[in-house]
Amino acid sequence: MKEPLIFDLSSPGRRACSLPAFDAPAKPLTELVPQDCLRQHDAELPEVSELDVVRHVTRLSQLNFSVDTHFYPLGSCTMKYNPKINDRIASLPGFANLHPYQPASTTQGALAAFDLLEQTLCQITGMDAFTLQPAAGAHGELTGLLLIRAYHTARGNPRRKVIVPDSAHGTNPSSAHLAGYDVVTVPSNKQGEVDIEKFRAVLDEEVAAVMLTNPSTHGVFETNILEVAAMAHKVGALLYYDGANLNALIGLARPGDMGFDVVHLNVHKTFSTPHGGGGPGAGPVGVKKALEPFLPTPRIVRNAADGTFFWNYARPQTIGKMRSFYGSTGILIRALTYILAHGSEGLRRVSEVAIINANYIKAKLKDLYDDPFPQACMHEIVFSGKRQKKQGSSARDIAKRLLDFGFHAPTIYFPMTVPEALMIEPTETESRETLDRFIAAMRQIAEEITTNAEMLHNAPFTMPVTRVDEVKAARELDVNFVKREP
Amino acid sequence: MKEPLIFDLSSPGRRACSLPAFDAPAKPLTELVPQDCLRQHDAELPEVSELDVVRHVTRLSQLNFSVDTHFYPLGSCTMKYNPKINDRIASLPGFANLHPYQPASTTQGALAAFDLLEQTLCQITGMDAFTLQPAAGAHGELTGLLLIRAYHTARGNPRRKVIVPDSAHGTNPSSAHLAGYDVVTVPSNKQGEVDIEKFRAVLDEEVAAVMLTNPSTHGVFETNILEVAAMAHKVGALLYYDGANLNALIGLARPGDMGFDVVHLNVHKTFSTPHGGGGPGAGPVGVKKALEPFLPTPRIVRNAADGTFFWNYARPQTIGKMRSFYGSTGILIRALTYILAHGSEGLRRVSEVAIINANYIKAKLKDLYDDPFPQACMHEIVFSGKRQKKQGSSARDIAKRLLDFGFHAPTIYFPMTVPEALMIEPTETESRETLDRFIAAMRQIAEEITTNAEMLHNAPFTMPVTRVDEVKAARELDVNFVKREP
Amino acid sequence: MDYIPNTDADLSAMLREIGVASFDELVAAIPASLRKFKMELPAALSEPELQRELGAMASRNKPLDALTSFLGAGAYEHFIPSAIDALVSRGELYTAYTPYQAEASQGTLQLLYEYQSLICRLTGMDISNASLYDGGSAVGESAYLALNAHPKRNRIVVSSALHPEYRQILRTYTAGMDIEVVELPTRDGVTDLDALAAATNENTAAVLLQSPNFFGCIEPMQQAGELIKPKGAWFVAVVNPLSLGALRPPGEYGADLAIGEGQPLGIPVSYGGPYVGFLTSSKQLVHKVSGRIVGRSVDTEGREAFCLTLQAREQHIRREKATSNICTNQSLMALRACIFLALMGKRGIREIAELNLRRSHQAADAISRIPGFALKFPHAPFFNEFVVTCPAPAQTICDRLERDGILAGLPLGRFYAGMECDLLVCVTETKLTGDIERLAESLSRAASQKV
Amino acid sequence: MDYIPNTDADLSAMLREIGVASFDELVAAIPASLRKFKMELPAALSEPELQRELGAMASRNKPLDALTSFLGAGAYEHFIPSAIDALVSRGELYTAYTPYQAEASQGTLQLLYEYQSLICRLTGMDISNASLYDGGSAVGESAYLALNAHPKRNRIVVSSALHPEYRQILRTYTAGMDIEVVELPTRDGVTDLDALAAATNENTAAVLLQSPNFFGCIEPMQQAGELIKPKGAWFVAVVNPLSLGALRPPGEYGADLAIGEGQPLGIPVSYGGPYVGFLTSSKQLVHKVSGRIVGRSVDTEGREAFCLTLQAREQHIRREKATSNICTNQSLMALRACIFLALMGKRGIREIAELNLRRSHQAADAISRIPGFALKFPHAPFFNEFVVTCPAPAQTICDRLERDGILAGLPLGRFYAGMECDLLVCVTETKLTGDIERLAESLSRAASQKV
Ligand SMILES: Cc1ncc(COP(=O)(O)O)c(C=O)c1O
Ligand SMILES: Cc1ncc(COP(=O)(O)O)c(C=O)c1O
């Protein structure tokens, strides 16, 4: 049964909430503020009961896939399990009910939590200092690039260019552009790594930064990373690490040790905070010592004398602020909880199992799906659906068909370097049994394509809706419900 | 996709929880307790991950109907909306994390809440005192009958009989029996009320109590209630009120004023606490002054001097205890929250709207379904599916078919006095629009029966399973999973 | 505020459709004299006011998070995994009805079937029902069941080391029945087996022993069973389910019924409720078991499917002849226990039980080293509770410790005459070495305090 | 502890199937020199330890429930209906991914479409995106958008009464761009319109005004708009969405963009985040809007269905040419706002806004009656915040009130030189008459205190 829009449920005079009456003499509003400041017509919000809202949202929620209900083999996204303890801790009134401008004397626990999180992130990445302010990965990238810009500017020249591999996530070039840089794309070699010669060709003293992720979005480790770093540093460029793939490396290798100068992390990937249907996440940024003075303001400082913490705003070289206040506290507390649950050993095991799980899928599917990079993969594997495409089914068809088997689709058509890319990241929180069922589904689909590729064009068959007309959505734009055509 | 059993998900060595290590020198267990006290083989609990459990329970939950997702026109059950604020209040640590044997000095808030709830229930029912101890309606009945027994015993003769109308809920005769009474059934008259003449015929000085609910389970008001009460009292019998139907009467009439001596309430019906798939509920019992000395121990007492509360155990005439400690605190706090949200006016409106909603359904369906009691109904309406039965579909078929329309089944085959009973209680929390959709479904089903009664035998068609084989379930009893047949 | 969607306009329109001029016409059957009362309730509160006022009421309590508590005695502070709340609060479970309509209730039904199976595995028994109200009422129900299954017998024998409230409930439940309840004395903290042998005769329907008993001591259940069996009485073991991670299960010492309080399995102490009573039995007694039971069956297409079964035992079918009057039970709490056991798993349940054993022995050692304090029953094995004899009335000691934010335990004088100096101390896995040290220090200070 | 189901046995078996002898073979590509580090983290904690230790950390904070707070300044304490938490915590919403796969995400998509529609109705604007990070970053994004839609212009004009942090963000966001940010002075608490007229020229891409502004004052938005329009600059209104229940919406005074912080709509203050930025625009700018947008469409069978739309604007398609780099946004917080607005409804949103108006005016009256205290901007209309000039440095006053458990407001000296005695006081509907009286008493005591 189709769930109506909340507006369809509205009926005049119906109410979900009542509010306390004003308990003092109430003057007419116009004696408080001039008439022309006031709203003339009520906003046409729906008029519904609390039960209407509860039933509506509950029913709608059941139309979703989610980690709590389905396996998400979604490459680059690290859709791991989000432990429930994280939510419990984050919703304690001592964290959830603090005003950002409360005196530090009343928020020592929160400051201590932030400080501890910064320290643990330094340990995990091999960086010297962290800011928790950025709200997501892309926000971290922009922060990082603005830090790099400030760094170079302080040295006399902000420089002009940022090098980005062709396999990079769209946010990388976009962030570089917003930070005022020209984007120079460097192609990958056959192993899916940065092509060192082509890299050398574009590297010069106008390069402010080289943005990489390692493992790359091809799911393979950049074996030349130390050389790349040395080359970049030689011309005075800085190395930026897109932390989206850190789930491959915790406890195994650190971007700081590889030579990266700036790092962002996606706590909603590596550190198990929920995706929430598209956020909120958080994108803490770590830097080497030389960049520390530029970090956004304020910074947490521990008073050596009495061990108390305070916010320091006096930061003359700071780039300023990237968002209001300090960061997404509720999310950061979840990430901290997760890190403290694991410890060093536990985190290393996270990456080990993530890598084994991915290679297991690779081993079990590489006969049926083209595997562009034959070396062992790291935490994710990128197949190409070329063969299936020739047989008449696209990567999209495969993705949609998987939904019928109760699996979310892999990331498709990314990285753009791999035709008909199917990017699969199982994460460490899925069991071998789940992987086996997924593998079986992928094999059955490959088989279906050889016998009935046509059928897949109409997949999925078991979802609440069949394929949605995206062309119509864009052409006949309806993004704000006005009213039902009668 | 069928959700496996939790045991099917088990894999050796898998874990969902870890526990802290023992942080002191650990002797072998056998140095603490003798070997023969210890378990030799681990209990074969499943070995699963936290994600396994979360996904399993989340998926299973989606197979359920519930108030939060569906309308439940379930007579006698008052499946109304359970406001979310109730849960929030009940889960405050100040209520949820108190030990029952904490000193009263540390639980004054809880005691004050209980005291206030007792007082409000007295006001609502017209009774003189309440105990919050009973855990559900049936438990309240047993409590009430034991109170009645103690009362009569104190007067020299516990008496032998309890009169129960033929329309009574099964718990009534069952409770009477457990309290040591013989059950005498009195038939209803054509109006669905107690047949006064037949009642007179069975009433004598061996009758300890007359158990009634008003409105009766026929959904009609017992118009002779005052006469019935007078007759019962005349022979020294007490009047027991089964509060299952109080949702019809709050603010409109009070059992205490009708002459009832003992009352139980179902807070999971009238006062919006959730049914939880079959409990927990709570069944507070109210009495007139003469029965107060017999109430279960302990009782809350307010110290007149300083206004503090304490538990009084010194109750020489008490019947004793009906359960451990004081009652289902978490449930009672929800009921209190609900009552305080409404106030007197609000509660009266609850019953008014419950009655209007029921009569609306009656008006819209009585042409198609037989309506044994033509007078206005109270908060529920009992139809008879006799006509449909003749056409080839039973009340059960109708109930199952309704599921396909997204409505829970009504209560069926109860009361037993009405053949093919379909007992419908909409409650006040459903909107007219929902009732209209339900009415349309019921009309369509009546129509389907005239054209294709056969089809309904196979309903439902859209549930996770088709009709479940209850005969096999009872014959080849499997109530404890041992292991899968290979 | 209220939760009523229909507006006055809706209601007027509906009254018109019903064909009456006013609401009062619908309730004309109510005698006018009954409509005159005035209900005096506090004024209605909006949700913000409820949050504020009831929040203030809650904060007049001092919850266990603000104290260090060694109270047990039937309600235990244990680790509750966060996943439990996250799952049982789901509307589809929380606001569902009793699963009479199997096709629309497979979620609740399968979970209750899993609950039953888990409880059976833990207790070693054959059959579990789907829940009773709590441990105390489970004792009452077990008496009904035993008497029903032994219709000619009229004696119930019970240890005086059964929880005093449970014994009280047993007497209350059976007040209307013509039976005799015999209480057995204890010796060195456990039930006197000679007395048991003497009291159990051909007229005895059931013998109820609790292990660990109210004093925390593990009873000689095997020997007790051997004395009971020959008399044909039902042997009812009242057990702490969490203890069964480490202790011998009732299924292994021949209990006919194993029952108890399920609260330790993931249910908050919550000032005494809601909890859950569990009731398990041997196969033999399945048709006498009270409460709901879920069975595994198939649907018309042969797929595995679940439904309530053996309903013929129940009140809604059998009325006055039913084994029990229970109707609404404690499903959601059973579900908590089910999730708890699944999360703990085979190893976890053993580990948590062992931690309880170790912590309580660590505390018992520490306390018995304090001058003036001694274990009351030094020879009886115990699980997570034990009795300490104090150098002053136990209530006095407790009052002193309360000032340090410690709830030292339960003074036993409240329930047992002559035990005024005895304190029942419970130490679960929630207590760490530091907590135990604080308790010991505070006790030794309290012992030397004057007034 | 960890959340890894595969055991060592599973992993060995899998390694065999992969065809390697050990895990290290799989990561042989990592240079040995990189594998030598040591990560120094606190020892792993089990869940009971996490509950205990992080619970202790939380309790070292003093949350607003334990204080009476008059802090606002961009983060507001408001009534949050309990249904919001109950719903957004549902795993299907909470743990879902960005809804790229429309068929498996209709729940999130429809709710975001409803969010967009509700925000449009509240602001009176044509188009809303599906969320930005927060109010501050929305200001930064609006600058990107304005500059992108006016590619030849390079001036941004902004009121100095825009939240100081937002202005800082604006400068940070645009640090890599060759543009000029001009700040306008205020007069009597509102933006100086003469200065606005002077600063806005043909080179101006956008003018940003906040109303109510950082001082709480309602800006003359209509007149400002009339000055801006002729210059062709985009008029960006930064608004408090909750205030729009009572105040004139930006759609009515000609704003091209209306943006702001969505936190007042059902989102906890949570020490500054996660919040949600909203961004709405006129139809004209739809192809420039940053962030996700959900559209209503149909499936292949013609049924209403939802999907992300206009993705060609976004970074994953357009890369360096995208309007914005935003990817993960704040869906779940948008969902909170959606549920909040649905629960409040047409009447509720007006009532809550009016209550804010009344309470703040009640407090302003009370405070201005205290000798030594005065409203700083007595002629500017305000919503739920206002500036009070104190008889001592505002920080001193605040420190004194903190001892009474009152957070009196934000001392403005922190952000505005010369305003050391000025205090920004916020009074929402969460404060009752009694709270305001306590504040007034405490202020008057504080004024007369020495040190
Ligand atoms: C490789 C890579 N980089 C950057 C990002 C951007 O991160 P966020 O979505 O948190 O802004 C993503 C997210 O999908 C990613 O996969
Ligand atoms: C009329 C009536 N009486 C008694 C009861 C028993 O109440 P409970 O289920 O709470 O034990 C019910 C419950 O269904 C009922 O409908």
Which residues of chain D have a CB within 8 Å of the CB of C51?
Answer: 79, 82
A52 touches chain C (CB under 8 A): yes
Q: Which of B232-246, C118-132, D303-317 has the lowest mean pLDDT?
A: D303-317
| Residue at C192 is within a domain | yes
Spatial neighbors of C152 by CB under 8 A, at least 6 apart, are: none
A58 touches chain B (CB under 8 A): yes
Select from A78, A167, A171, A267 the residue to mutate for testing ligand 1; criterion: most ligand atoms less than 8 Å from CB.
A171
* Domain stop point among D341, D368, D388: D341
| Residue at C176 is within a domain | yes
Which ligand gives the minimal distance to the CA of B134? 2
For residues C297 and C195, membership in a common domain is answered with: yes
CA–CA dist B205, B193 (Å, integer):
23
Q: What does the DSSP 8-state code read for residue A106?
A: G
CA–CA dist C246, C344 (Å, integer):
13
D18 touches chain A (CB under 8 A): yes
**Ligand 1 pocket member A258 (CB < 6 A):** no
How many CB atoms lie under 10 A from the CB of residue B31? 9
Look-up: residue for tokens 């599973």? D10
Q: pLDDT by residue (tens digit) across C59-94?
A: 999 999 999 999 999 999 999 999 999 999 999 999
Tokens (6 digits) for B47:
């070995």
For residues C316 and C424, membership in a common domain is answered with: no
We report the CATH number of the domain holding residue D364 as 3.90.1150.10
Q: Which of D10, D83, D91 lies at the smallest CB-CB distance from B84?
A: D83
**Cβ(D264)–Cβ(D124) below 8 Å:** no
**pLDDT band of D316, cuts 50, 70, 90:** confident
Number of domain units in chain D: 2
Contact call for C9 and A13, based on CB within 8 A: yes
Residue B298 has pLDDT above 70, yes or no: yes
C246 touches chain B (CB under 8 A): yes
CA–CA dist C180, A340 (Å, integer):
58
pLDDT at residue D433 in the model: 96
Range B153-159, long-range pairs (CB < 8 A, 24+ positions): B154/B294, B154/B317, B155/B236, B158/B208, B158/C176, B159/B205, B159/B206, B159/B207, B159/B208, B159/B237
Tokens (6 digits) for A256:
């700081």
Task: Tell the residue nearest (CA) to atom 7 of ligand 1.
Answer: A137
Tokens (6 digits) for D436:
């305001």
Residue B485 has pLDDT above 80, yes or no: no
| Residue at D35 is within a domain | no
- Evaluate the omega torsion of the peptide bond into residue A415 and state whether it is cis, within 30 degrees of 0: yes
Contact call for B85 and D82, based on CB within 8 A: yes
CA A196 → CA A188, A223, A233, distances in Å?
Answer: 9, 11, 15
For residues D188 and D279, membership in a common domain is answered with: yes
Q: Where are the alpha helices (DSSP H) in A203-328?
A: 225-234, 255-258
- Strands C277-281, C257-261: pairing is antiparallel
Burial of A234 (0-12, 13-18, 19+ CB in 10 A): exposed
Closest CA to C120 of C252, C224, C211, C313: C252
Q: pLDDT by residue (tens digit) across B165-199?
A: 999 999 999 999 999 999 999 999 999 999 999 99
Q: Pick the residue of C78, C89, C431 with the most D CBs within 10 A to test the interface with D by mutation.
A: C89
Which residues of chain A have a CB within 8 Å of the CB of D71?
Answer: 99, 101-102
pLDDT at residue B107 in the model: 98
For residues C73 and C173, membership in a common domain is answered with: no
Contact call for D134 and A324, based on CB within 8 A: yes
CA–CA dist B65, C99 (Å, integer):
9
CA D41 → CA A117, A308, A470, distances in Å?
Answer: 10, 21, 47
∠ CA D32-D37-D43, nearest 5°, is 135
| Residue at C243 is within a domain | yes
| Residue at D16 is within a domain | no
CA–CA dist B168, B174 (Å, integer):
11
**Ligand 2 pocket member B76 (CB < 6 A):** yes
Q: Residue A168 half-sphere exposure, CB side, CA atoms within 13 Å? A: 32
Tokens (6 digits) for C292:
């709901």
CA–CA dist B44, B42 (Å, integer):
6
Q: Which of C79, C89, C91 lies at the smallest CB-CB distance from D48?
A: C79
Tokens (6 digits) for D443:
């202020």
For residues D123 and D260, membership in a common domain is answered with: yes
* Domain stop point among D304, D323, D341: D341
Q: Is C166 helix (H, G, I), strand (E, B) or coil?
A: helix
Which ligand gives the minimal distance to the CA of B328? 2
pLDDT at residue D104 in the model: 98
ipTM: 0.97
Which residues of chain A have a CB within 8 Å of the CB of C85?
Answer: 84, 88
pLDDT at residue D337 in the model: 98
**Cβ(A336)–Cβ(A265) below 8 Å:** no
D91 touches chain C (CB under 8 A): yes
Q: How many residues does chain D have?
A: 451
Q: What does the DSSP 8-state code read for residue C247?
A: B
CA–CA dist A478, D304 (Å, integer):
12
pLDDT at residue D29 in the model: 96
How many CB atoms lie under 10 A from the CB of residue D9? 13
We report the CATH number of the domain holding residue D278 as 3.40.640.10
Which residues of chain C have a CB within 8 Å of the CB of A14?
Answer: 5-7
For residues C188 and C222, membership in a common domain is answered with: yes
Domain that holds residue C428: 64-77+344-448
pLDDT at residue C438 in the model: 97
Which ligand gives the minimal distance to the CA of A218? 1
pLDDT at residue D373 in the model: 97
pLDDT at residue D11 in the model: 98
Sign of the Cα pseudo-torsion (D397, D398, D402, D405, in order): positive
pLDDT in tens, chain C (451 residues): 789 999 999 999 999 999 999 999 999 999 999 999 999 999 999 999 999 999 999 999 999 999 999 999 999 999 999 999 999 999 999 999 999 999 999 999 999 999 999 999 999 999 999 999 999 999 999 999 999 999 999 999 999 999 999 999 999 999 999 999 999 999 999 999 999 999 999 999 999 999 999 999 999 999 999 999 999 999 999 999 999 999 999 999 999 999 999 999 999 999 999 999 999 999 999 999 999 999 999 999 999 999 999 988 788 888 888 889 999 999 999 999 999 999 999 999 999 999 999 999 999 999 999 999 999 999 999 999 999 999 999 999 999 999 999 999 999 999 999 999 999 999 999 999 999 999 999 999 998 876 5
For residues D189 and D283, membership in a common domain is answered with: yes
pLDDT at residue B327 in the model: 96
For residues C167 and C301, membership in a common domain is answered with: yes
**Cβ(D151)–Cβ(D176) below 8 Å:** no
For residues D72 and D179, membership in a common domain is answered with: no
Residue of D nearest to B49 (CA): D5
CA–CA dist A111, D61 (Å, integer):
9
**Ligand 1 pocket member A136 (CB < 6 A):** yes
Burial of A475 (0-12, 13-18, 19+ CB in 10 A): exposed
pLDDT at residue C319 in the model: 83
**Ligand 2 pocket member B283 (CB < 6 A):** yes
CA B408 → CA A227, A234, A348, B384, distances in Å?
Answer: 67, 72, 50, 18
Query: What residues does A238 pair with on adjacent strands?
Result: A209
Residue D2 has pLDDT above 90, yes or no: no
CA A45 → CA B154, B485, D40, D122, D338, distances in Å?
Answer: 63, 57, 53, 8, 10
Q: pLDDT by residue (tens digit) across A36-74?
A: 999 999 999 999 999 999 999 999 999 999 999 999 999
The ranges of chain A with pLDDT < 50 are none
How large is the average pLDDT for residues B336-346? 97
pLDDT at residue A2 in the model: 87
Residue of B nearest to C120 (CA): B480
CA D252 → CA D191, D234, D274, distances in Å?
Answer: 19, 15, 30
| Residue at C21 is within a domain | no
Residue D315 has pLDDT above 90, yes or no: no
pLDDT at residue D318 in the model: 83
How large is the average pLDDT for residues B269-278? 98
Tokens (6 digits) for C184:
């057995």
- Three-class SS of chain B: CCCCCHHHHCCCCCCCCCCCCCCCCCCCHHHCCCHHHECCCCCCCCCCCHHHHHHHHHHHHCCECCCCCCECCCCCCCCCCCCHHHHHHHCCHHHHCCCCCCCHHHEHHHHHHHHHHHHHHHHHHCCCEEECCCCCHHHHHHHHHHHHHHHHHHCCCCCCEEEEECCCCCHHHHHHHHCCCEEEEECECCCCCECHHHHHHHCCCCEEEEEECCCCCCCCCCCCHHHHHHHHHHCCCEEEEEHHHHHHCCCCCCHHHHCCCEEECCCCCCCCCCCCCCCCCCCCEEECHHHHHHCCCCEEEECCCCCCEEEECCCCCCCCCCCCCCCCHHHHHHHHHHHHHHHHHHHHHHHHHHHHHHHHHHHHHCCCCECCCCCCCCCCEEEECHHHHHHCCCHHHHHHHHHHCCECCCEECCCCCCCCEEEECCCCCCCHHHHHHHHHHHHHHHHHHHHHHHHHCCCCCCCCCCCECHHHHHHCCCCCCCCCCC
Select from A242, A272, A275 the residue to mutate for testing ligand 1; criterion: most ligand atoms less than 8 Å from CB.
A242
Which residues of chain D have a CB within 8 Å of the CB of C429?
Answer: 48
- Strands D190-191, D186-187: pairing is antiparallel
C86 touches chain D (CB under 8 A): yes
Closest CA to A286 of A110, A118, A78: A118
Q: How many CB pairs under 8 A join B and D?
A: 46
**pLDDT band of D377, cuts 50, 70, 90:** very high
**pLDDT band of D314, cuts 50, 70, 90:** confident
Q: Pick the residue of C110, C170, C325 with the most B CBs within 10 A to test the interface with B by mutation.
A: C325
Residue B1 has pLDDT above 80, yes or no: no
| Residue at C364 is within a domain | yes
Tokens (6 digits) for A185:
């794309």
For residues D138 and D248, membership in a common domain is answered with: yes
Residue D451 has pLDDT above 60, yes or no: no
| Residue at D48 is within a domain | no
The alpha carbon of C391 and the centre of ligand 2 are apart by a number of angstroms equal to 51
For residues C159 and C269, membership in a common domain is answered with: yes
For residue A266, give the ligand 1 atom closest to its CA. 10
For residues C291 and C156, membership in a common domain is answered with: yes
Q: Pick the residue of B353, B479, B482, B483 with the most C CBs within 10 A to test the interface with C by mutation.
A: B479
D8 touches chain B (CB under 8 A): yes
* Domain stop point among D296, D321, D341: D341
pLDDT at residue A139 in the model: 98
